[in-house]
Amino acid sequence: MTTIRRESPYATLINVFTVEPDNAAELSSLLASATEDVMQHQPGFLSANIHLSSDRSRVVNYAQWQSAEHYRAMLSDDTAREHMAAAAALAISFDPHLYTVESVHERDR
Amino acid sequence: MTTIRRESPYATLINVFTVEPDNAAELSSLLASATEDVMQHQPGFLSANIHLSSDRSRVVNYAQWQSAEHYRAMLSDDTAREHMAAAAALAISFDPHLYTVESVHERDR
């Protein structure tokens, strides 16, 4: 289970895919199967969470990697690249960035 | 603490701000204080997590609301609108969408 914490030692990848609504469900499924088949077995992979916007114009992968170096090493892996290209082909555009968690806020209890 | 779960009963808001790198830290701080001062007290607010990209070109809020209706009601609140306008003024653009969590994946253990 992914938890979001401040000063996490992990690298957070957020990849926002802009997609034609008719392709949104297919892209979401493709990212899920690519994660199960390929990404999950890459060194340093911790978790990935595939999100579909209610207007079906965006698909977001919120993922955690052990470090930025592990994430970058995956980008050079041939099988991973093949799956990323398949996802990219279904999208209009995609926008991956690595992030740090700056602050976390919760409801007053 | 925010946890990401499949078939969550919550509405997930992901808002991606595109920002000039020089404004990224200020936007991140402004979103944190607006959350503490205003958003956190809105009905249905559950959590918000402010992320800063390592290239400083993006700031992302990953938030959970009790329902889409609670989120939409906040959008009509005058004080909330004022703080959202201040954040928008610091950004080049922003792209808020509500999402469902379609799938979650974890490292083999």
- The alpha carbon of residue B75 is apart from the nearest alpha carbon of chain A, in Å, by 17
Count the alpha carbons within 13 Å of B38 in the hemisphere toward its beta carbon: 17
Instruction: Report pLDDT for A109.
Output: 53
Instruction: Report pLDDT for B13.
Output: 97
pLDDT, one tens digit per residue, over B19-37 is 999 999 999 999 999 999 9
The contacts of residue B97 (CB under 8 Å, 6+ apart) are: A53, A54, A55, A57, A58, B13, B14, B15
Beta bridge partners of A108: none
Confidence of residue B7 (pLDDT cuts 50, 70, 90): confident
Say whether pLDDT at A2 is over 90.
no
Instruction: Report pLDDT for A108.
Output: 67
Say whether pLDDT at B109 is over 80.
no
Find the angle CA(B19)-CA(B55)-CA(B37) to the nearest 5 degrees: 50
CA-to-CA distance for B98 and B72, rounded, in angstroms? 10
B chain contacts of residue A49, beta-carbon cutoff 8 Å: 4, 101, 103-105
Q: Which of A42, A46, A47, A48 is nearest to A30 (CA)?
A: A48
pLDDT, one tens digit per residue, over A5-61 is 888 889 999 999 999 999 999 999 999 999 999 999 999 999 999 999 999 999 999
Burial track B3-27 (b if 16+ CB lie within 10 A, e otherwise): ebeeeeebbbbbbbbebeeebbeeb
- The alpha carbon of residue A5 is apart from the nearest alpha carbon of chain B, in Å, by 7
pLDDT, one tens digit per residue, over B46-93 is 999 999 999 999 999 999 999 999 999 999 999 999 999 999 999 999
Instruction: Report pLDDT for B108.
Output: 67
Are the beta carbons of A51 and B12 separated by less than 8 Å?
yes
Say whether pLDDT at A68 is over 80.
yes
Residue A46: closest CA among chain B residues belongs to which residue? B107
Say whether pLDDT at A80 is over 80.
yes
Range A79-107 average pLDDT: 95
One-letter amino acid identity for B1?
Answer: M
Q: Which range (A71-75, A85-89, B3-7, B36-40) has the least confidence? A: B3-7
CA-to-CA distance for B27 and B75, rounded, in angstroms? 19
CA-to-CA distance for A17 and A99, rounded, in angstroms? 16
Residue B62, phi then psi, degrees to nearest 5: -110, 110
B chain contacts of residue A60, beta-carbon cutoff 8 Å: 14, 99
Integer CA distances (angstroms), A59 to A27, A90, B45, B61, B66, in order: 7, 11, 23, 16, 21
Query: A with B: how many residue pairs have Cβ under 8 Å apart?
Result: 153
